[in-house]
Structure 1
Amino acid sequence: MKSTFRILFLARWELEKNGKVPLCARITIDGEKVKFSLKSEVSSSIWDPKSGRAKGQTKEALQLNRYLDSIKGQMITHYHSLSEANEVVTASMVRDAFLGTNIKSNTLLAVFEEFNDRQEKLIGIDLAQSTFNKYDLTYRRLKEFLKVKMRKNDTLLCQVDRNFVMDFEAYLKIEYKLDTNSSEKLMRIFKRITTMCFKNGQMPKDPFCDHKLKKVKKDRGYLTKSELESIIDFKPDNKRLEKVRDIFLFCCFTGYDYSTTAALTDKDLVADDDGALWIDTHRIKTKTAAKVKLLDIPLSIIKKYERKRDSIFLLPVMSNAKYNLYLKEIASICGIEKNVTSHLARHTNYLTELSLMTHSRAVAQG
């Protein structure tokens, strides 16, 4: 569909002073209008409002009209340049290009990409890699949705409404078979972007104002004592599964999540007055304090990898995707029918070893 692009020069009659009126330009593209000052003025007696030009053949009129023609030519050039680089060009983008200011993004994916670029720089500072991965996934799913369902490479922020939100949510559930909670996570990130744009004045209305995101409470489950013992007694025939088993058991006996466990270093180890070792750290996602005494099994796991370390981290934690994949392999071998994931360890969270203390030697020896 061809865009409607118009440039009009106007006189600010309300600001007339000493027979002079300041001039401004108005750019209109597909109904969107922006107006800005030209930092110039003209004698009110020679300005023709209908043509948007100076009338007559006086020196002032000729110079002004040449100036206006030059401005119009520059804005047309900017419009065509922007059209070659962007599927959607707005009046604001042409104005910003002409004025030499940073072009403000008025399209959904452009704003989302800028947001992700800022967030990526915060990984390891106040943002976990896993959180950024969700931002990136949401961006990619939106990009796919626009291309597959709407046949667009991007869309104006003003075109993102409640119907857009509902259609995207349905796309996630239908095309990717996401349940209510999985789709809700991505939709909540999408909502963060639209809320930011609405508060910045880039969107006329919050598209989520009449759409509530639903989340279903689920019992995440836990491992029974016998199921946990079967993993402790498991004898892996390769180092890959051995590492995964050890990391999982470490999480079970400390209550730490995957991200926090992966970030642990020697600096997090402290000894009390009795010489017992503790981990004193903060959870990666919530930043809350998490001080845990190291019982036999987690302590033996740390000592096991102490000599093998090739980095500052206490344990050889792999990517979350591979970790969960290998956990399922271990669960299958051990005859555990539950969906064993990294998060299940936190809910198992055995803080007392009791009869399991006899297994610590087996874990330490692999």
Structure 2
Amino acid sequence: MRTNLTFSISFFVRKKKNSAELALLYSRITVNGWSKEISLKHDLPLNKWNQPAGKMLGNGAKSQLVNRKIETTRTGLYKAYEDLFKEQRIITADTVKDRYLGNDVTNHTLVYLLDYHNGKMKNVLKYGTLKNYTTTSKYLKDYLKIKHKSLDIYLKQIDYGFTLGFEGFLREKPSLHNNGVMKHMERFKKLMRLALHLEWIEKNPTLRFKLRFDKVDMVYLDRQELERILDKEFEQGTLKVTRDIFVFACYTGLAYADVKALKQDHLRTGIDGGKWIYMRRRKTDTQVRIPLLEEAQIILERYRTHPKVDNQEILLPVYSNQKTNQYLREIAEAVNLGKRLSFHAARHTFATTVTLANGVPIETVSKLLGHHKISTTQIYARVVDTKISNDINALRIKLKT
């Protein structure tokens, strides 16, 4: 609304670099305290400029020419502002300047794209993924506000420089490391690819930007570490519950969201007559079928009558993701683990220590984890030193005989 806008036009001069006596004439557009300048392509004697009046002194031909240029510019800028307002377009110092100069791009804006994507994906993307896009959207809006002094920008005005600038803006945040920055850039690239597919832009300004992720060591527990956590007696109830649910995930390979969503309906009798988990992964919607190991069955039985579970559909009293990871850090410290423990380490532990290290074929592990491609599972095979050691020892025995 117009009542939310402050708009002003002023004129000023700036000394020419190669002349101490001449100055160049500029106009400054200010909207809500943010300004843009336009060169009026006129020079004049510096001592003839009256800054308070915003015009050139005198009645000579040069003065009349310069002052006429000032008035026509003022009129044109006000018209650009009024036209944008009538069209219910974005009004910023940039858009007024572009409309006046004839560079106005009548197209969708970045904020419109963000709102369009997040609205369309509300019922498509999982909550965590959509939350990540919301954070990326917030950073993009902050970048516009802080670095571009604007609340929005037309998509066709976004170029490779804008892309590099956004990366630099993210790297200034102490809370973001390289991989965090790259995840935001990855989402920005997907957003711009969406704009291209919708034909809102003619070329993708992020196409040449290469994502550069650092390799991160996978955190998982070996057999001794898992036993230390199992054997530890915790007086605090929250730590005991969190430990048990974490161990349950270590023996099922389920991610946090899947453990939290686990219900009685997901327990079925499998092909071998034992209890199995049949469910779809929350993240990928992939069907998984997991035979319950004894360690996992014991934990389910332990919490069958828990107040948060009794007479409820859920099977385990899972705390929030934030609280769970906080408690896991306390557990790791209590057993002197020396590792930064998070819930996802349980899934890694299942893949490495519980299955692959005990000779379960990688094809079976891939199915249990719900991976679409076995290459995704192979990253676990590379970190299981104990499996390599056992296989080579078995080979030594065969070679001797």
**Whole-Å Cα distance in 2 between the matches of residues 327 and 81 of structure 1?**
57
In the alignment, which residue of structure 2 is the partner of 1:120? 122
Change (3 A) 1:89 1:166: closer
Change (3 A) 1:305 1:343: same
Opposite residue 127 of structure 2, the aligned amino acid is Q
Higher relative contact order (CA 8 A, sep 6+): 1
- Following superposition of structure 1 onto structure 2, how do residues 73-152 of structure 1 map, counting pairs within 5 Å? 79-80=84-85, 87=92, 106-122=108-124, 127-152=125-150
The 8 Å contact of residues 128 and 259 in structure 1, kept in 2 or not, is answered as: no
In the alignment, which residue of structure 2 is the partner of 1:227? 225
The 8 Å contact of residues 138 and 189 in structure 1, kept in 2 or not, is answered as: yes
The 8 Å contact of residues 254 and 351 in structure 1, kept in 2 or not, is answered as: no
In the alignment, which residue of structure 2 is the partner of 1:67? none
Opposite residue 109 of structure 2, the aligned amino acid is T
In the alignment, which residue of structure 2 is the partner of 1:284? 282
Measure how far apart 1:110 and its partner are.
Answer: 2.2
Measure how far apart 1:312 and its partner are.
Answer: 2.3
Deviations 1:274-307 (A, max 9, x none): 5411112222222333211111221122222222
Measure how far apart 1:212 and its partner are.
Answer: 1.2
The DSSP-based 3-state class of the residue aligned with 1:110 is helix
Opposite residue 345 of structure 1, the aligned amino acid is A
Are 2:197 and 1:199 equivalent residues in the alignment?
Answer: yes
Equivalent position to 1:264, from 262, 265, 282: 262
Change (3 A) 1:312 1:128: farther
The DSSP-based 3-state class of the residue aligned with 1:138 is helix
Opposite residue 313 of structure 2, the aligned amino acid is I
The 8 Å contact of residues 105 and 111 in structure 1, kept in 2 or not, is answered as: no
In the alignment, which residue of structure 1 is the partner of 2:207? 209
**Whole-Å Cα distance in 1 between the matches of residues 150 and 202 of structure 2?**
21
Change (3 A) 1:275 1:199: closer
Structure 1 range deviating more: 313-322 or 246-255: 313-322
The DSSP-based 3-state class of the residue aligned with 1:185 is helix
- Following superposition of structure 1 onto structure 2, how do residues 63-78 of structure 1 map, counting pairs within 5 Å? none
Measure how far apart 1:269 and its partner are.
Answer: 0.7
**Whole-Å Cα distance in 2 between the matches of residues 192 and 245 of structure 1?**
38
Measure how far apart 1:136 and its partner are.
Answer: 1.1
Change (3 A) 1:250 1:78: farther
The DSSP-based 3-state class of the residue aligned with 1:245 is helix
Structure 1 range deviating more: 79-88 or 328-337: 79-88
Structure 1 range deviating more: 223-232 or 177-186: 177-186
In the alignment, which residue of structure 2 is the partner of 1:57? none
Change (3 A) 1:147 1:90: closer
Cα RMSD (Å): 3.2
Deviations 1:109-141 (A, max 9, x none): 22202211222234xxxx322111111111111
Measure how far apart 1:228 and its partner are.
Answer: 0.9
Change (3 A) 1:213 1:352: closer
**Whole-Å Cα distance in 1 between the matches of residues 122 and 304 of structure 2?**
31
In the alignment, which residue of structure 2 is the partner of 1:317? 318
**Whole-Å Cα distance in 1 between the matches of residues 187 and 311 of structure 2?**
36
TM-score, structure 2 normalization: 0.60
Unpaired stretches in structure 1, ≥5 consecutive residues: 4-75, 92-103, 355-366
Unpaired stretches in structure 2, ≥5 consecutive residues: 1-5, 9-80, 97-105, 359-401
Change (3 A) 1:221 1:287: same
**Whole-Å Cα distance in 2 between the matches of residues 223 and 237 of structure 1?**
23
Opposite residue 110 of structure 1, the aligned amino acid is Y
The DSSP-based 3-state class of the residue aligned with 1:206 is coil
The DSSP-based 3-state class of the residue aligned with 2:172 is helix
The 8 Å contact of residues 187 and 213 in structure 1, kept in 2 or not, is answered as: yes
Change (3 A) 1:235 1:209: same
Change (3 A) 1:336 1:118: same
**Whole-Å Cα distance in 2 between the matches of residues 353 and 270 of structure 1?**
27
Deviations 1:34-77 (A, max 9, x none): xxxxxxxxxxxxxxxxxxxxxxxxxxxxxxxxxxxxxxxxxx98
